[in-house]
Amino acid sequence: AELTVEAVEARREALDVRVDGETRAPVERFGQGGALDVHAIRALKRLGYETPTGIQAQCIPVICGGRDALGLATTGSGKTLAFLLPAYAQISRQRPLRKKEGPMALVLAPTRELATQIANEANAFNRAGVPARCCAIFGGASKHEQLKRLRAGAEIVVATPGRLIDVLHVKNSIDLRRVTYLALDEADRMLDMGFERAVLSICRAVRPDAQRVMFSATMPRNVRWLVNEVLADDFVTISHGQVGT
């Protein structure tokens, strides 16, 4: 049954989540509402994740509903799965990759450490049965090795902006034509690190009809600017806890 507006508000309040631009209620279980695919739900169980965190509970229905979104939440609130789980749902509905195609989802992260962390999480889900391979691309490591793994096929690529721009200049290295989901993690840090131009040029190289989501711990002016450049006009804002500027 449909929840009343008051019931949706109460559920959000209990999770310390605020939403601007969308009426869908947060989910209480990962499987609720059928937004996520069966492989991801099974993998969540295998990996010991029981209930969604606040940001996940609200991001899952909104992002799986196809909306562009801005997620604002402090460190430790579970933002990685808030953008990975909807990516899996989207990937599961698409035609499999052919040789030399891919990825379907692209994640940008500010540092090698963060890109590695996200890729490790994604690879744990892959080992737990989610049919999406993940490849990480970052500076300070062999480009040759990364290109080799990329060519072996990856539904998800996690990259730092600088190295991805580098790789895009290598002929036949990475084909962005199948990217239908673009996630920017720690957007505030990417801008602080001077990746503004690289991030923008990557966003513009991705199909205009790709879904875009952005996550940040803070909301300073430069992030506001990037939001307006990158997300659709009708994007949804989902925040959890206290967000600084």
Q: Which residues bind ligand ADP (CB under 6 A)?
A: 49, 52-53, 56, 73, 75-81
Residues in the chain: 245
Nearer to ligand ADP, 120 or 228 (CB): 120
As a whole number of angstroms, the longest Cα–Cα distance in the chain is 55
Residue 142 beta carbon to Mg ion: minimum distance, rounded to whole angstroms: 25
**Which token pair is 146?**
């990364």
Q: How far is the CB of 219 from ligand ADP (least distance, A)?
A: 15
Write out the residues near Mg ion by the rule CB under 5 A.
79
- Provide the β-strand partners of residue 213: 69, 183
List of E strands, 115-162: 134-137, 156-159
**With CB cut-offs between 5 and 8 Å by kind, which of ligand ADP, Mg ion, none does residue 158 bind?**
none
Query: Of 94 and 120, which CB lies nearer to ligand ADP in the complex structure?
Result: 120
Tell me whether residue 53 or residue 90 sits nearer to ligand ADP (CB atom).
Answer: 53
Least gap, CB of 176 to ligand ADP (angstroms): 24
Binder of residue 52, out of ligand ADP, Mg ion, none (CB less than 5 to 8 A by kind): ligand ADP
Cβ proximity of 212 and 203 under 8 Å: yes
Q: How far is the CB of 159 from ligand ADP (least distance, A)?
A: 17
- Residue 77 interacts with, from Mg ion, ligand ADP, none (CB under 5-8 Å by kind): ligand ADP
- The item of Mg ion, ligand ADP, none sharing an interface with residue 101, based on CB under 5 to 8 Å by kind, is none
Using CB atoms within 10 Å of the CB of residue 76, give its burial: 0 to 12 exposed, 13 to 18 middle, 19+ buried.
exposed
If the CB atoms of residues 84 and 227 are measured against ligand ADP, the closer one turns out to be 84
Name the token pair of 142.
């062999």
Q: Give the span between the Cα atoms of 11 and 222, in whole angstroms.
A: 32
CB atoms inside a 10 Å sphere around CB 140? 8
Residue 78 near which of ligand ADP, Mg ion, none (CB within 5-8 Å, type-dependent): ligand ADP
Task: Pick the closer one to ligand ADP by CB: 150 or 191.
Answer: 191
Instruction: Please count the other Cβ atoms lying within 10 Å of the Cβ belonging to residue 51.
Output: 11
Amino acid at 115: A
Residue type, 143: K
Min CB(38)–ligand ADP separation in Å:
18
Q: Least Å distance between CB 74 and ligand ADP?
A: 7
- Smaller CB separation from ligand ADP, 110 or 161: 110
Q: Across-strand partners of 225?
A: none
Which stretches within 28-111 are classed as H helix? 38-46, 54-64, 79-92
